[in-house]
Amino acid sequence: MGLFGENSINKAELLGVIIRLSLLTAVSFMTLKWALNQMDHTLSQKKKAKDKAKKICKKLGLEIEQQQLNDYEMVIASHLVDPSDISVSWEDVAGLEDVVQEMKDTVILPIQRQDLFADSQLTQPPKGVLLYGPPGCGKTLIAKATAKEAGARFINLDVSMLTDKWYGESQKLAAAVFTLAAKIQPCIIFIDEIDAFLRMRASQDHEATAMMKAQFMSFWDGFITDHSCIVILMGATNRPMDLDKAILRRMPSRFNIGLPDCSQRTKILRLILSKEPIAEEVDCETLARETVGFSGSDLREVCRNASLYRVRDFNQSSSSKQSDEDDFQDALRPITMVDLVLSIEKFKESKFLSTSGLHTSA
C-alpha cells in the first residue's frame, strides 16, 4: 500500500515535470520567434511594400490575388509605375523626333499591336533597349514618356533595393523582377543609370553581387529565348563603355541621345519658353546659336535663371516703391532677351569654371 502511495506521488511529480517542460519549450519557442522577427529588418519593409503593391495593383487593375505573387514579387510590384501619375508625354520631348519615332515603331507598336506581328519572330519588340549619351540630354525624359504612352506595365527598378539586402535576399529579388514581369506582361523593366548596377564584372566583386548579376543575366536570357513573353529591359546610362559586354549584347536596340545641335536647341528653348511669359523680341534661334555645347538640362537652367532676374528686378523696384502685394502678378515683367543673354553668359562662366576646376584637380 505504502509502495503504491509512493508510486502515485512519483506519477504526479512526473506529470508536473512534463507540464513545466512543455510550458518552458513553448515559451522559449515564442521568445526565439519574437527575437528572430525583431532581427529580420526586411520583414517590416516587406509588409510596407506589400501594402504599397496592393494599392498600385488595384489602381492598375491588376488582380494580385489571382496572380499569387510571393513576398519578393510584392516588393518589386511596389515599384510599378502608374502612367496617370506621370506628367511627361511625347510633347515634352523636343528635338528628338527621330528617336521618339524609332521608339514608337520598334518598341511601342509591337507591344500595342501584338496581333499585327504575331506571325513574325523578327518583328517582335527587342528584349533589351539602351538609351545612352551625355548627361542632361533627355534619356530619363524619354523613358518617362515611354512609361506614360506604351500601354504596358512599367517597373521603375530602383537598383539599391536589390543590392542593399541581406545575403540571399538580393538573388531572390533579382529573380522576382523577372517572374513578376512575366506574370504581368507586357511589361517594361526600366533601370536608370544601369552602369552602376551592371558595370563590368571584376574579380574583386563581392560574392553576393557577382552571383546576383549572374542570376540576373540568366533570367534575362530565359526571356530572350521565350518569344511569346513580352518583357523588355530598358536601361539608361551616360557611361555605356562601363557596361558589361554581356549586357550590351543583350541590348540590341540602342538609342544615342547626344548633345542637341543648333536646331534641336531652338526647339528645346521654344518648348521650355512656351509656358512662360516672354517678351515679343525673344528669338530662340539666336539664343540657340549662343549656346553651343549646352545640354537640354543646361538650357532649362538658363531659362530658369533668366526668369529669376525679373523677380529680382521686381523685388528691387517694389522695395523702393513700397507697392502693395496685390500688384505682384501685374507688376512682374515678361522674360526679355537681355535676361536670357545675361543668363547664358553667367552659365558659360560657371560651366568654364567647373570644367577648368576638373582639369586642375585631375
Ligand X SMILES: Nc1ncnc2c1ncn2[C@@H]1O[C@H](COP(=O)(O)OP(=O)(O)OP(=O)(O)O)[C@@H](O)[C@H]1O
Contact positions vs ligand X (CB under 6 A): 93-96, 135-141, 236, 238, 268, 271, 296-297, 300
Which CB atom, from 72 or from 294, has the smaller least distance to ligand X?
294
Of 146, 61, 63, 76, the C-alpha closest to 111 is: 146
Q: Find which of Mg ion, ligand X, none residue 268 binds, CB within 5 to 8 Å per kind.
A: ligand X
Choose the binding region for Mg ion from 20-28, 102-110, 140-148, 275-283 (rule: CB under 5 A). Answer: 140-148
The rounded distance, in Å, linking the Cα atoms of 57 and 82 is 9
Choose the binding region for Mg ion from 46-54, 109-117, 135-143, 183-191 (rule: CB under 5 A). Answer: 135-143
Which CB atom, from 88 or from 229, has the smaller least distance to ligand X?
88
The residue to which cell 530565359 is assigned:
222
| Cβ 297 to Mg ion shortest distance, Å | 9
Which CB atom, from 186 or from 260, has the smaller least distance to ligand X?
260
| Cβ 266 to ligand X shortest distance, Å | 12
Q: Find which of ligand X, Mg ion, none residue 95 binds, CB within 5 to 8 Å per kind.
A: ligand X
Residue nearest to Mg ion (CB): 140
Which CB atom, from 67 or from 140, has the smaller least distance to ligand X?
140
**Site membership for Mg ion, residue 140 (CB under 5 A):** yes
| Cβ 225 to Mg ion shortest distance, Å | 30
Choose the binding region for Mg ion from 50-58, 134-142, 144-152, 351-359 (rule: CB under 5 A). Answer: 134-142
Parallel, antiparallel or unpaired: strands 128-132 and 253-256 = parallel
CB 302 within 8 A of CB 291: yes
The rounded distance, in Å, linking the Cα atoms of 212 and 169 is 10
| Cβ 32 to Mg ion shortest distance, Å | 46
Q: Find which of ligand X, Mg ion, none residue 296 binds, CB within 5 to 8 Å per kind.
A: ligand X
Q: Find which of ligand X, Mg ion, none residue 310 binds, CB within 5 to 8 Å per kind.
A: none
Q: Find which of Mg ion, ligand X, none residue 270 binds, CB within 5 to 8 Å per kind.
A: none
Residue nearest to ligand X (CB): 296
Q: Find which of Mg ion, ligand X, none residue 238 binds, CB within 5 to 8 Å per kind.
A: ligand X
Decide: residue 116, CB within 10 A, 0-12 exposed, 13-18 middle, 19+ buried.
exposed
CB 157 within 8 A of CB 263: no
